[in-house]
Structure 1
């Protein structure tokens, strides 16, 4: 075969990746609307705790 078949598998989205995205969104919102709006520290500690088990 001259060409490789196109990769059509959907990338798996583990829970860790989802939590990381949510954390980044929370930080972005907190930066946009003020740190008092969203407890980024609490969110980060929750995500870090889940990632580390």
Structure 2
């Protein structure tokens, strides 16, 4: 899942585990994913699905 993301770092140091911004398609528009990103302070761009109520 999203928690297993490792962003390569240029040079020495620990790999980053938080993206600067997440862009996803409608398949990732669940409340669980959106709330996870909000808790971690990660801005996101995920379109709303037409067949589901608003996730926000």
User: Normalising by structure 2, what TM-score?
Assistant: 0.29
Larger Rg: 1
Identify, as 1 or 2, the structure richer in helix: 1
Identify, as 1 or 2, the structure richer in strand: 2
